[in-house]
Amino acid sequence: MSEERKYLKLGVDVHKRGIEFFEELIKPVFPHAFTTIVKDPETSEGIILHVDGAGSKPIVAYIYYKETDRPQWFRGLAQDVIAMNIDDIITVGAKPIAFADYIAVNAFRLPRLKVLNEISLGFKESLNLIINVTSSLKNRIRITFAGGETADLPDQVRTLDLVGIILARLPLSQAISGDNISEGDVIIGLRSGGRAIYEAKENSGIMCNGITLARHVLLSKEYELKYPEICDPISKERYYGRYKIDDYLDELNMTVGEALLSPTRIYTPIIVEILERYPKSIKGMVHNTGGGLTKILRIGSGLRFIKDNLPFPDPIFCLIQNEGKVNWEEMYEVFNMGIGFEIITNRDFVDDIISICEKYRVEAYVIGKVERGVPGINEVIIKSTNGTFIYQKQIE
């Protein structure tokens, strides 16, 4: 990339350098699967213990709360956390068993009881949604809330941190390992924006990644001056946007704040039905979170993924790119750009899979294909109206 990465300047490393220090501790059964599966030493079944959070999205909710005195803005964060976890584990075909949370609060800045109440209501709504939407399926989801931890950390956390943990299991023989992805397979992309049949309102599609970059380039410096706790005082990178959170933009069809807080779509009900009806058709799945449209690099080995039929990015991404003057190459690596989930299959099942997605009013279409690549290296080539970009990752 010719320019310095704006995201990295804000203190966020999209490549997550440093996690390699922990990799020698992990003994995955399938090294090329999207999510780590380990063997249960008692049963030899596959188990997953997955952890993810809402990132810096709570800061947007915090600004909304400070401006409106309404703690309801924190409720949608619960769906973010559940989606970030459950849609990661469904990529390998695992069945979630239990969910727990970790919430760290600065009670000097937030009304602790009101915030916790809203988040608990959000967890209840999101878990019930998954249970209800999959209730008619043979492999319906029955996920239990198993508690968690609430910590008061005023000296460590300036506002709020929200994380979730999901326990899942699956027979190892049924795992979607990514090992049988082959040349000629196609990539089906599921939209992150719009409104699924089980969603209460329109979604901007931003999901839960890139929020640090988005809020700095879109939101007014006024908020930083009023609430200095929303950014690190040491950082030279400040808020420089021209919008307030309640500014309504026609191209977004919602306010800027609503677009940034749009809850991450939960794809699991759709994927459960696809797996139930076509259990042998899916070769790989990708949840486009950290890493955006390059997230696919983590599955399989020696593959070249060509994405040459991508939709034009949703308005929120165009707004971020234009306001922040962010290089398009970085945009595709940070944000999902309108495709929140990807399914790799052979061409025989394309129409059937797309039909299921459309039943839930989620747009889906073939966005690319798979070619044989260089052994030990995965590559994704994005051919878009905004340019052609190539990303690589070395695979063990």
Residue pLDDT, tens place only, 27-62: 889 999 999 999 998 888 999 999 999 999 999 999
Instruction: Tell me, yes or no, if the pTM score tops 0.75.
Output: yes
Percent residues over pLDDT 90 in the chain: 89
374 pLDDT above the threshold of 60: yes
Total of domains in the chain: 2
Does one domain contain both 82 and 230?
A: no
Q: How confident is the model at residue 12 (pLDDT cuts 50, 70, 90)?
A: low
2 pLDDT above the threshold of 50: no
Does one domain contain both 251 and 388?
A: no
Q: Which helix (H) or strand (E) holds 224?
A: helix 221-226
Q: What pLDDT is attached to residue 11?
A: 62
Domain assignment present for 1: no
Mean pLDDT computed over 169-198: 96
Q: How confident is the model at residue 1 (pLDDT cuts 50, 70, 90)?
A: very low
First to last CA, the chain: 24
Euclidean distance between CA atoms 313 and 323, whole angstroms: 15
Which of 241, 259, 277 terminates a domain? The answer is 259
Mean pLDDT computed over 255-281: 96
DSSP string, 88-133: HHGGGT-EEEEEEEEEEE-TTTS-HHHHHHHHHHHHHHHHHHHHHH
Euclidean distance between CA atoms 244 and 253, whole angstroms: 15
Which of 242, 259, 276 terminates a domain? The answer is 259
Which tokens hold the place of 191? 């939209």
Percent residues over pLDDT 70 in the chain: 95
396 pLDDT above the threshold of 50: yes
Residue 249 is part of which domain span?
211-259
Q: What pLDDT is attached to residue 26?
A: 73
Does one domain contain both 116 and 253?
A: no
Q: What pLDDT is attached to residue 14?
A: 67
Euclidean distance between CA atoms 93 and 75, whole angstroms: 28
Which tokens hold the place of 55? 């990132």
| CATH number, domain with residue 309 | 3.90.650.10
Domain assignment present for 272: yes
Q: What pLDDT is attached to residue 395?
A: 87
pLDDT in tens, 141-174: 999 999 999 999 999 999 999 999 999 999 999 9
Euclidean distance between CA atoms 321 and 276, whole angstroms: 39
Does one domain contain both 292 and 304?
A: yes
pLDDT in tens, 301-326: 999 999 999 999 999 999 999 999 99
Query: Given CA atoms 333, 338, 339, 341 in this order, what sign does their dihedral have?
Result: positive
Does one domain contain both 181 and 104?
A: yes
Which tokens hold the place of 44? 């030899």
Mean pLDDT computed over 10-24: 67
Which of 259, 291, 324 terminates a domain? The answer is 259
pLDDT in tens, 317-357: 999 999 999 999 999 999 999 999 999 999 999 999 999 99
Does one domain contain both 155 and 285?
A: yes
13 pLDDT above the threshold of 90: no
Q: What are phi and psi of 72, to 5 degrees?
A: -60, -20
Q: Side chain identity at 156, as an amino acid letter?
A: Q
Domain assignment present for 225: yes
